[in-house]
Amino acid sequence: MALAPDRTVRGLLFDRDDTLVIDVPYNADPHKVVPVPGAHRAVERARAAGLRLGVVTNQSVIARGMATREEVDATNARVDELVGPFDVWCVCPHDADDGCACRKPRPGLVLEAAERLGIAPEELVVVGDIGADVGAAAAAGAQGILVPTPRTRREEIDDVPTVAASLDEAVSLVLEHADAVRS
């Protein structure tokens, strides 16, 4: 599946857990960060192509009192060190019932990243492993690519327009599209 052929892509946003790093539920320990195989290479390819890069991540571990923002930031710094660097990190510290505007699938994190990167939301692609990631992209006016894991629900896969088998394939879709737009 492909991205919209008539849209310029200038930035790429990634979900953190199960997209860039192996998911350790409620992880706020930098020592437990393990990149998804191929994540560093995929991010490196996107950066080399001139795309602006960011991470948009729900971290309810903060709202639940299981970690501090500083601990989550330290964990994110470790991800940045192993997989990045990223131009921007946007973190939702709220729980699902808090009613915030930032928790995916709401658009807040994507809109914040767009503003901080100086890129229109329509020029962004969000890559994630669940429907909420792609939903946040759509709600913000961006495009989304789902990279399913064994935990991704079948209906999430069926409900999104663009699915890639791996993070590397997702980046390839974006780079092919970027090349087609420039030609």
CB 162 within 8 A of CB 145: yes
Asked if 179 is an active-site residue, the reply is no
Q: What is the 3-state secondary structure (H, E, C) of the chain?
A: CCCCCCCCCCEEEECCECCCECCCCCCCCHHHCCECCCHHHHHHHHHHCCCEEEEEEECCCCCCCCCCHHHHHHHHHHHHHHHCCCCEEEEECCCCCCCCCCCCCCCHHHHHHHHHHCCCHHHEEEEECCHHHHHHHHHHCCEEEECCCCCCCHHHHHHCCCECCCHHHHHHHHHHHHHHHHC
Q: State the Cα–Cα distance between residues 96 and 29, nearest whole angstrom.
A: 22
Catalytic residue among 6, 17, 133, 168: 17
Asked if 15 is an active-site residue, the reply is yes
Catalytic residue among 6, 15, 73, 133: 15
Known catalytic residues? 15, 17
